[in-house]
Amino acid sequence: MNQGATPPAADHTVGRTLVLRGLRATGHVFRVPLDHADPTSADIEVFAREYSSLEHTDDEAARLPWLLFLQGGPGGRGVRTTHLSGWMKAAARDFRILMLDQRGTGLSTPADAATLASLPTPQAQADYLAHFRADSIVADAELIRRRLGSPPWTVFGQSYGGFCTLTYLSAAPAGIERALITGGLAPLSGSPDEVYRATFARVEERNREYFAWYPEDRDLVTRIARHVEDVEEYLPSGERLTARRFQMVGSFLGGNTRVHGLHYLLEDAFTRAPGGPRLSASFLEQVHGIVSRASQPLYALLHESIYCQGSASAWAAQRVLEEYPQFREDAAEPLLTGEMIYPWYFEEDPALRPLRAVADLLAEKDDWGTLYDADVLATNTIPAAAAVYRHDIYVDRNLSLATAAVVRNLQVWETDEFHHDGIADDGEAIFERLLSMTRP
């Protein structure tokens, strides 16, 4: 090395350990290739936080096996917690938990409008983002496992994390001791259109259920949709609230108990003003927090691509919506929508406007690689267990069971007790049940 040269960055650095309420939290930074298939690829950083329980001494904790948690998304950072509860409390009895900030999120090398602007063209940005799907996340995880010196570990995937777990079982099963999945059995083949036809039907069903509980909210939702067409109402970030963007508050419908929070949101939507009814500042602030993708741009950019293998999404949700006019904003009684992503998001959300060109290129991309290997899954020997939620509006039950039928050695617990975010309601019991299903 030349005198005065900057030494190469370490492949793995460990930060300081925080001791919080009943837990230790230690940060790790790993340098990984942007493109695992290209040895000359530039490096990016992936951050992970290790959690362990203070019920174990430092030495005991260091000897515990690892559990890798793959969170929902795409584009969501790892869970931040200051005390152990729910599934993490259960897991920390027997494991050290490694919580990834999947590439592009949290404290990992970011991928957002500001950082993507350093790339010269939208096509260069799209080429870069093509390395941010489940196959790359799994390659990161397997590289990290080896750097930690861990034998095969337990992988727990929630929602999109379950999709990643299926990719892991396809691509690197030797790195897994057991696989646990909640609300995340992805279709192994087919197009996004099939997914959205199923989920639009589930979301419609959930709308009907919700309005049966709160019939007064049926007229209120329509009133708000008509109001914002006639009266200019602005979100705190400065853009006008449209009816179709308001419909995004239907994200509440995917919750088990959170669904009832929708009623609390709607009940104080209007306030009296000198010129007539207006939407309250409190309501607009809350809606902004729901509909803005400022903190999670990768969700909007990559959401449809998670279903693509060898074909383009071509804005699938927008196309399939035409088959469900009851979800149109100008319907007589418009329904609330789910997690679907539409091209107009990149016009109406200020955080996404700079990304419209790259979003279109990603929607047009027709050479996405394969995410799952049905032949490998059909001969799987890794103990695996999955919770399938019967009325899940985000990951369709029928498509999930079709996948489960392909994966050898996968046990399914189908339940109508929980919705998509079940682990937020009783994560301890769900985790313990799935774990027991994979033990001899």
The residues annotated as belonging to the active site are 159, 367, 420
Characterise 69 by phi-psi region: left (phi > 0), alpha (psi -120 to 50), beta (else): beta
CA 358 – CA 113 distance, rounded (Å): 10
Query: What's the distance, CA 349 to chain centroid?
Result: 19
SS3 call for 96? strand
SS3 call for 347? helix
| Cross-strand pairs, 181 | 157, 386
**What residue has token string 């040895």?**
39
Q: What is the CA radius of gyration of the chain?
A: 22
Characterise 106 by phi-psi region: left (phi > 0), alpha (psi -120 to 50), beta (else): left
CA 339 – CA 302 distance, rounded (Å): 13
Neighbours of 354 (CB within 10 A): 15
CA 99 – CA 114 distance, rounded (Å): 25
For the chain, the distance separating the N- and C-terminal CA atoms, rounded to the nearest angstrom, is: 53
